[in-house]
Amino acid sequence: MDKQIKLVEKLAKKFKDKVAVLEEEPGTLYVNKDDVLDVMGTIKDKYHFNMLLDSTAVDYEEKMVAVYHLMSLPECDQLKVKVNLEREDPRLSSVVSLWAAANLMERETYDLLGIIYEGHPDLKRVLCSDDFEGHPLRKDYKVEARR
């Protein structure tokens, strides 16, 4: 964990106003919505984070947060990157051009939480059926219990 915090501090210095680090979450790098591709591209190429472990999102009711877990296989480091999004219109650029793994993960996040990844080659539902309405993992989604 200390290794992660140090890395985040280093990255915060490098990217300056494109990123932010919260006091209560020292091991997490918050990236501005518009700088996602730029920052993530540099992290991948210059810091060897060659694997996208996980891409998902959390609905905090007042906002949406896209969460990325990155991994550098050569150095065995992990990095958590978050992006704050407006809940009404959650949009950010897709990272499929950096990691092909994002293709399915972003489709899943779109399907379950309704986040629009701009520039994704084929953004459509993957787990729910095509005619499904709504995004089930949003907190305001009403589950109809069938007993």
Partner 1 sequence: MAKAQDKILKTQEITLNMGPQHPSTHGVYRCILTLDGEYVTDLENVMGYLHRGMEKLAEDRTYTQFIPYTDRLDYLAAILNNVGYVQAVEKLLDIELPERVEYIRVIVSELQRIASHMVYIGSYALDLNGFTGWMYTFRDRERILDLFEMITGSRLTLNYPRIGGVSHDLTDEFMKGLQELVDDLPACFEEYDGLITGNEIFQSRTKGVGKLDAETAINYGITGPNLRASGYCFDLRKNQPYGIYDRFDFDIPTGENGDSYDRFIVRMEEMRQSLRIIKQAMKDIPEGEIMAKVPKVIKPKAGEAYHQIEGAKGWLGYYLVSDGTTKPYRNHIHSPSFVNLGVYPEIARGGNIQDAVVILASIDIVLGEVDR
Positions in the binding site for partner 1 (CB under 8 A): 50-54, 56, 58-59, 67, 69, 73, 76, 78, 80, 99-101, 103-105, 108, 112, 125-129, 136-137, 141, 143
Q: Nearest distance from residue 35's CB to partner 1, in Å? A: 22
Q: Nearest distance from residue 17's CB to partner 1, in Å? A: 25
- The residue among 94 and 103 lying less far from partner 1, judged by its C-beta, is 103
- The residue among 58 and 118 lying less far from partner 1, judged by its C-beta, is 58
Q: Nearest distance from residue 116's CB to partner 1, in Å? A: 19
Nearest to 95 by CA among 49, 59, 52, 125: 52
- The residue among 18 and 51 lying less far from partner 1, judged by its C-beta, is 51
Q: Nearest distance from residue 101's CB to partner 1, in Å? A: 3
- The residue among 28 and 93 lying less far from partner 1, judged by its C-beta, is 28
DSSP string, the chain: -HHHHHHHHHHHHHHGGGEEEETTEEEEEEE-GGGHHHHHHHHHHHH---EEEEEEEEE-SS-EEEEEEEEETTTTEEEEEEEEE-SSS-EEE--TTT-TTHHHHHHHHHHHH--EEET-TT---SSS-TT--S-TTSTTPPP----
